[in-house]
């Protein structure tokens, strides 16, 4: 990868040879200042002040001042040349990031646009300046030393060359350690960005020790990288001391010998000026500029460079799938190569769980305990249970977002987690992900190739998206996520998943913002997909009635069967269904699961569970309801 960056960098510079030539010419003009900074004071002393010729000394000092003015003009032109060299680099990187972000839906595009490209531009400009400055400043100073007295080169040049050589030798290892530190720091920042918003959920789920250990490992990794960088950074200080400070000591220590060899006092003062005013600052900027900014630039360019084969669209979309359970896991989707998802063999189960156990912490009670499940291809499974029991955790395990503590999971015969299993399932969370763009782009987000318009319209008709599609002006209509309702966003996400090639669809309360008929239409569309299998976390009893099988989760009392079988054989399921059962009059089916933690039913109607005293029903919140105050005049169960 580094060789590739070097090759691209050389090609980039070769195309802009005119800019490099202009930069070199202006740098030569700037070099005059470096030459005169030691030569003019030497002549002012030897030919002027020490000889009693004040006007000659002042004249040479005036020449030095004129050199500063000319050098400043050259420096100003240098900045313009550097801009002409660096801005095309920024434009090229910006174009690459935009292409990757728009065409490939790269999640890092925003970071690339707002930070990484600017880092690359500023850092590359700084490196051009410090590298150019050292080369031309060193040439001007060494020419000046030779002009004053060739013996001065014998004192200054060897330690300078040794210091630059030591720095050059250590530059590669130092850059690698700098990069390792930056990577460790970014990994820690990324983990904290994921953990901090979920602290409440982590505490509620008893996952403190797990998250603490995870973050502690990243902190330790950054600490080790920082210590390695600090230890190796000592060589950078040694190179600066050897090449910049030792020549000063040698000039002072050898001054008597130099004077006996005919070196004048002015020449010796000029040599000290060259070292302290030119060589030492230039070397300092080179060592710190290349040693720190150079490695940072290499890291950024590697991340902005084309990355090999991209993950498939299904894998990309997984990053937006967050379980909607009260115990929301903090986990990243598994990465993997692009995998095609053909229809599974009819004899291969769509989903298999074998003795799966999962808990959010080592000391926590398992949310899922020794669960076995085999779901044939083409099935329709509804998952029901009290709030917080682990329904969304189950979908996260099937999707590969979480790893079970024990047991195995297979999707269409492929082990979870794994890229093959990822390509065979699509997860639609409660919070639907919709991005700004055309409706067609949103719907085709999980497909690697363009989707024909006829197929888009057919999917929209099946799921129930046609009214919204017409409102937006067709497939090319503009989507503004902020202008859509939660239900409209869910319809778009459902249609996108319907168009995905994954045979297993996981709906984690993905229809909670739809009304009953819209939910039924969407679920029936998914259940009717050729070769498709549907797993839906239900929040209405109608979803359970439509399903072939129902998984009623309740810890160790988990039950599995058809709706009628569970009604006959599971007291807990009958209790859960409760007031969901149909009644003679309309309005007796709540939209949300009964037995919520607050114990309040969503809609008052006959047969609702009560506490014997009051229920919050169709009146204001907190209103006390006396017996026989329901709409049909009947009492709550257990009340006389």
Contacts of 259 (CB under 8 A, 6+ apart): 265, 268
Give yes or no for residue 269 having a pLDDT over 60: yes
The share of the chain scoring above pLDDT 90, in percent, equals: 6
Residue 5: per-residue pLDDT? 52
Q: What is the mean pLDDT of residues 214-219?
A: 87
Predicted confidence band at 246 (pLDDT cuts at 50, 70, 90)? very high
| Structure-token pair, residue 380 | 């329709």
**What's 61-116 look like in SS3?**
HHHHHHHHHHHHHHHHHHHHHHHHHHHHHHHHHHHHHHHHHHHHCCCCHHHHHHHH
Residue 609: per-residue pLDDT? 42
Q: Mark whether 354 and 223 lie in a shared domain.
A: no
Cα–Cα nearest to 563, from 584, 579, 542: 542
Minimum mean pLDDT among 113-117, 253-257, 484-488, 591-595: which range? 591-595
Q: What is the mean pLDDT of residues 208-231?
A: 84
Predicted confidence band at 248 (pLDDT cuts at 50, 70, 90)? very high
Q: Mark whether 617 and 563 lie in a shared domain.
A: no
Minimum mean pLDDT among 179-193, 332-346, 367-381: which range? 332-346
Q: What is the mean pLDDT of residues 200-217?
A: 74
Q: Give backbone dihedrals phi and psi of 352, rounded to 5 degrees, phi first.
A: -135, 125
- Using DSSP's 3-state secondary structure scheme, residue 426 falls into strand
Q: Mark whether 530 and 565 lie in a shared domain.
A: yes
Give yes or no for residue 621 having a pLDDT over 60: no
Residue 245 covered by a domain: yes
Residue 254: per-residue pLDDT? 92
Q: Mark whether 427 and 564 lie in a shared domain.
A: yes
Residue 582 covered by a domain: no
Q: Mark whether 217 and 326 lie in a shared domain.
A: no
Task: Please state, as a whole number, how many other Cβ atoms lie within 10 Å of the Cβ of residue 408.
Answer: 12
Cα–Cα nearest to 325, from 430, 193, 195: 430
Residue 169: per-residue pLDDT? 84
Residue 622: per-residue pLDDT? 44
CB-count burial class (<10 Å; 0-12, 13-18, 19+) for 95: exposed
Q: Of the residues 535, 557, 573, which one is the last residue of a structural domain?
A: 573
Contact 121, 90 (CB under 8 A): yes
Q: Of the residues 304, 339, 354, which one is the last residue of a structural domain?
A: 304
Does residue 321 or residue 618 have the better pLDDT?
618
CA 271 to each of CA 64, 277, 560: distance values in angstroms, whole numbers, following the listed order:
15, 10, 91
Q: Mark whether 427 and 298 lie in a shared domain.
A: no
Give yes or no for residue 100 having a pLDDT over 90: no
Does residue 103 or residue 35 have the better pLDDT?
35
Cα–Cα nearest to 207, from 384, 370, 393, 371: 393
Predicted confidence band at 162 (pLDDT cuts at 50, 70, 90)? very high
Residue 624: per-residue pLDDT? 44
Q: What is the mean pLDDT of residues 173-191?
A: 76
Minimum mean pLDDT among 7-16, 146-155, 158-167, 357-366: which range? 7-16
Q: Mark whether 318 and 291 lie in a shared domain.
A: no
Kindly give the pairing relationship between strand 425-428 and strand 414-416: unpaired
Residue 125: per-residue pLDDT? 67
Instruction: Give how far the C-alpha of residue 519 lies from the chain's centroid of Cα atoms, to the nearest Å.
Output: 34
Give yes or no for residue 606 having a pLDDT over 70: no
Residue 580 covered by a domain: no
- Which of 194-198, 491-495, 510-514, 595-599 shows the highest mean pLDDT? 491-495
* DSSP state letter for 387: T
| Structure-token pair, residue 610 | 């009560």
- Which of 53-62, 174-183, 383-392 shows the highest mean pLDDT? 53-62
Residue 593 covered by a domain: no
Predicted confidence band at 256 (pLDDT cuts at 50, 70, 90)? very high
Whole-number average pLDDT of the chain: 74
Residue 73 covered by a domain: yes
Predicted confidence band at 640 (pLDDT cuts at 50, 70, 90)? very low
Residues in a beta bridge with 375: 351
Residue 304: per-residue pLDDT? 55
Q: Of the residues 249, 272, 304, which one is the last residue of a structural domain?
A: 304
Contact 35, 146 (CB under 8 A): no
Measure the CA–CA gap between 365 and 367, rounded to whole angstroms: 6
Q: Mark whether 290 and 404 lie in a shared domain.
A: no
| Structure-token pair, residue 340 | 């095609």
Residue 157: per-residue pLDDT? 92
Predicted confidence band at 305 (pLDDT cuts at 50, 70, 90)? low
Contacts of 234 (CB under 8 A, 6+ apart): none
Residues in a beta bridge with 39: none
Give yes or no for residue 632 having a pLDDT over 80: no
Residue 240: per-residue pLDDT? 87
Q: Is the whole-model pTM more than 0.85?
A: no
Give yes or no for residue 313 having a pLDDT over 70: no
Contact 570, 552 (CB under 8 A): yes
- Range(s) of the domain holding residue 558: 313-573
Predicted confidence band at 155 (pLDDT cuts at 50, 70, 90)? very high
pLDDT tens-digit profile of 551-587?
888 776 788 888 888 888 888 888 777 745 544 444 4
State the virtual CA torsion across 36, 42, 44, 47 in degrees, nearest 10.
Answer: -130
Does residue 35 or residue 152 have the better pLDDT?
152
Helix (H) or strand (E) run with residue 546 in it: helix 541-546
Measure the CA–CA gap between 440 and 450, rounded to whole angstroms: 9
Give yes or no for residue 37 having a pLDDT over 80: yes
CB-count burial class (<10 Å; 0-12, 13-18, 19+) for 245: middle
Give yes or no for residue 316 having a pLDDT over 70: no
Give yes or no for residue 637 having a pLDDT over 80: no
Minimum mean pLDDT among 279-293, 454-468, 495-509: which range? 279-293
Q: Give backbone dihedrals phi and psi of 164, rounded to 5 degrees, phi first.
A: -65, -40
Residue 291 covered by a domain: yes
Q: Mark whether 146 and 191 lie in a shared domain.
A: yes
Contact 384, 594 (CB under 8 A): no
Q: Mark whether 549 and 614 lie in a shared domain.
A: no
Q: Mark whether 260 and 354 lie in a shared domain.
A: no
Measure the CA–CA gap between 383 and 401, rounded to whole angstroms: 18
Q: Mark whether 564 and 611 lie in a shared domain.
A: no
Where helices occur in 418-465 by DSSP H, the ranges are: 419-422, 439-443, 453-463
Residue 346: per-residue pLDDT? 59
Measure the CA–CA gap between 44 and 265, rounded to whole angstroms: 11
Give the CA radius of gyration of the chain. Answer: 36
Contact 302, 120 (CB under 8 A): no
Instruction: Give how far the C-alpha of residue 560 lies from the chain's centroid of Cα atoms, to the nearest Å.
Output: 40
Residue 158: per-residue pLDDT? 93
CA 332 to each of CA 252, 323, 329, 396: distance values in angstroms, whole numbers, following the listed order:
62, 12, 9, 11
The CATH number that applies at residue 451 is 3.40.50.300
Residue 619: per-residue pLDDT? 44
Residue 472 covered by a domain: yes
Measure the CA–CA gap between 509 and 394, rounded to whole angstroms: 13
pLDDT tens-digit profile of 60-83?
888 888 878 887 777 777 777 777
**Within 13 Å of residue 243, how many CA atoms lie on the same side as its CB?**
27
Q: What is the mean pLDDT of residues 402-422?
A: 87
| Structure-token pair, residue 286 | 């080179």
Q: What is the mean pLDDT of residues 228-253?
A: 86
Residue 97: per-residue pLDDT? 59
The CATH number that applies at residue 274 is 1.20.1560.10
State the virtual CA torsion across 579, 584, 587, 591 in degrees, nearest 10.
Answer: 40
Residues in a beta bridge with 478: 438
Structural domain tally of the chain? Answer: 3
Q: What is the mean pLDDT of residues 344-363?
A: 79
Residue 202: per-residue pLDDT? 67
Does residue 86 or residue 143 have the better pLDDT?
143
Residue 319 covered by a domain: yes
- Using DSSP's 3-state secondary structure scheme, residue 356 falls into strand
């Amino acid at each position: 990868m580094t060789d590739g960056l070097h090759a691209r960098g050389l090609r980039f510079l070769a195309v802009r040879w005119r800019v490099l030539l202009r930069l070199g010419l202006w740098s030569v003009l700037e070099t005059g200042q470096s030459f005169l900074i030691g030569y003019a004071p030497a002549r002012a002393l030897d030919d002027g002040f020490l000889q009693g010729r004040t006007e000659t000394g002042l004249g040479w000092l005036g020449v030095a001042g004129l050199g500063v003015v000319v050098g400043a003009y050259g420096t100003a032109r240098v900045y313009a040349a550097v801009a002409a060299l660096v801005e095309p680099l920024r434009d090229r990187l910006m174009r690459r990031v935009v292409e990757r972000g728009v065409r490939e839906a790269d999640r890092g595009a925003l970071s690339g646009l707002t930070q990484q490209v600017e880092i690359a531009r500023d850092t590359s400009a700084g490196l051009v300046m410090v590298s150019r400055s050292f080369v031309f400043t060193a040439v001007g100073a060494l020419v000046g030393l030779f002009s004053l007295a060739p013996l001065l080169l014998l004192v200054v040049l060897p330690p300078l060359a040794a210091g630059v050589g030591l720095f050059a030798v250590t530059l590669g290892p130092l850059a690698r350690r700098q990069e390792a530190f930056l990577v460790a720091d970014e990994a820690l920042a990324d983990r904290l960005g994921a953990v901090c918003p979920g602290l409440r959920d982590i505490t509620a789920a008893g996952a403190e020790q797990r998250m603490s250990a995870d973050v502690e490992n990243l902190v330790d990794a950054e600490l080790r990288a920082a210590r390695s960088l600090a230890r190796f950074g000592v060589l950078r200080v040694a190179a600066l001391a050897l090449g910049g400070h030792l020549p000063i000591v040698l000039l002072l220590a050898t001054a008597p010998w130099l004077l006996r060899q005919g070196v004048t006092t002015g020449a010796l003062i000029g040599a000290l000026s060259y070292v302290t005013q030119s060589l030492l600052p230039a070397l300092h900027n080179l060592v710190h500029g290349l040693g720190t900014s150079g490695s940072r630039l290499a890291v950024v360019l590697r991340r902005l460079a084309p990355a090999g084969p991209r993950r498939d669209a299904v894998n990309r979309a997984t990053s937006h799938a967050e379980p909607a359970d009260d115990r929301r896991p903090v986990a990243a989707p598994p990465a993997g190569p692009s995998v095609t998802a053909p229809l599974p063999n009819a004899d291969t189960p769509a989903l298999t769980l074998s003795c799966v156990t999962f808990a959010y912490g080592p000391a926590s009670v398992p949310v899922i305990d020794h669960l076995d499940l085999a779901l044939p291809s083409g099935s329709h499974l509804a998952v029901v249970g009290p709030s917080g029991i682990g329904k969304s955790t189950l979908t996260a395990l099937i999707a590969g977002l979480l790893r079970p503590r024990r047991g195995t999971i297979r999707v269409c015969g492929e082990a979870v987690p794994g890229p093959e299993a990822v390509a065979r399932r699509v997860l639609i969370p409660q919070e639907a992900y919709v991005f700004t763009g055309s409706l067609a782009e949103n719907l085709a987000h999980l497909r690697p190739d363009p989707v024909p318009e006829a197929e888009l319209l057919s999917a929209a008709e099946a799921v129930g998206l046609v009214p919204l599609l017409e409102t937006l002006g067709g497939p090319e209509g503009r989507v503004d996520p902020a202008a859509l309702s939660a239900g409209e966003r869910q319809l778009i996400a459902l249609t996108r998943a319907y168009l995905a090639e994954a045979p297993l669809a996981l709906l984690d309360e993905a229809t909670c913002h739809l009304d009953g008929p819209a939910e039924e239409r969407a679920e029936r569309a998914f259940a009717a997909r050729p070769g498709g299998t549907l797993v839906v976390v239900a929040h209405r009893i109608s979803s359970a009635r439509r399903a072939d099988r129902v998984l009623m989760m309740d810890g160790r009392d988990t039950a599995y069967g058809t709706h009628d079988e569970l009604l006959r054989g599971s007291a807990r399921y009958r209790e859960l269904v409760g007031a969901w059962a149909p009644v003679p009059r309309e309005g007796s089916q709540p939209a949300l699961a009964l037995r919520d933690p607050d114990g309040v039913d969503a809609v008052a109607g006959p047969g609702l569970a009560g506490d014997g005293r009051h229920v919050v029903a169709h009146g204001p919140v907190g209103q006390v309801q006396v017996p026989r105050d329901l709409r049909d005049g009947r009492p709550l169960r257990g009340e006389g």
